[in-house]
Structure 1
């Protein structure tokens, strides 16, 4: 069974807006749905996963695509 992931592109955004936008988007998802958030900020790529995990969601992985792009894969609780 294939799980599709929705992408949220937050390149160019900075903390704390990156977490606020991620959190608001997560609220619209159903339990078990996956979201991939794309960041261009290394600080967002490290702080947002911690905050999302504190909210009870699961971090499935973090991929660094290139020197300025990170993808954070989240599964909604």
Structure 2
């Protein structure tokens, strides 16, 4: 599985874009700089858009794991506060 330990976990597989990013951003805002959020995303638009949008905001994408069930788990480190 993963050697990355998330400080907070979020599942947005029940959401559609742009709500996937908005919800992810709300959760990321709750973290302190350097903490890690894991986000479970559906394949397609969410997995394409959320990591890119987070990176555009300056956060560090650590890894994107394929869960082999149509979902992915994104690990993102909060940068800045």
Q: Does 1:4 align with 2:27?
A: no
- Please give the per-residue CA displacement for 1:27-67, whole angstroms capped at 9, x wherever unaligned: 11000000010012421011100000011100001111014
Runs of 4 or more, structure 1, over 4 Å off, are none
Unaligned runs of 5+ in 2: none
More strand by share: 1
Aligned CA RMSD, in angstroms, stands at: 1.6
Unaligned runs of 5+ in 1: none
CA distance in structure 2 between the aligned counterparts of 1:63 and 1:49, rounded to whole angstroms: 12
3-state DSSP of counterpart to 2:14: coil
- TM-score, normalising length: structure 2: 0.85
- TM-score, normalising length: structure 1: 0.90
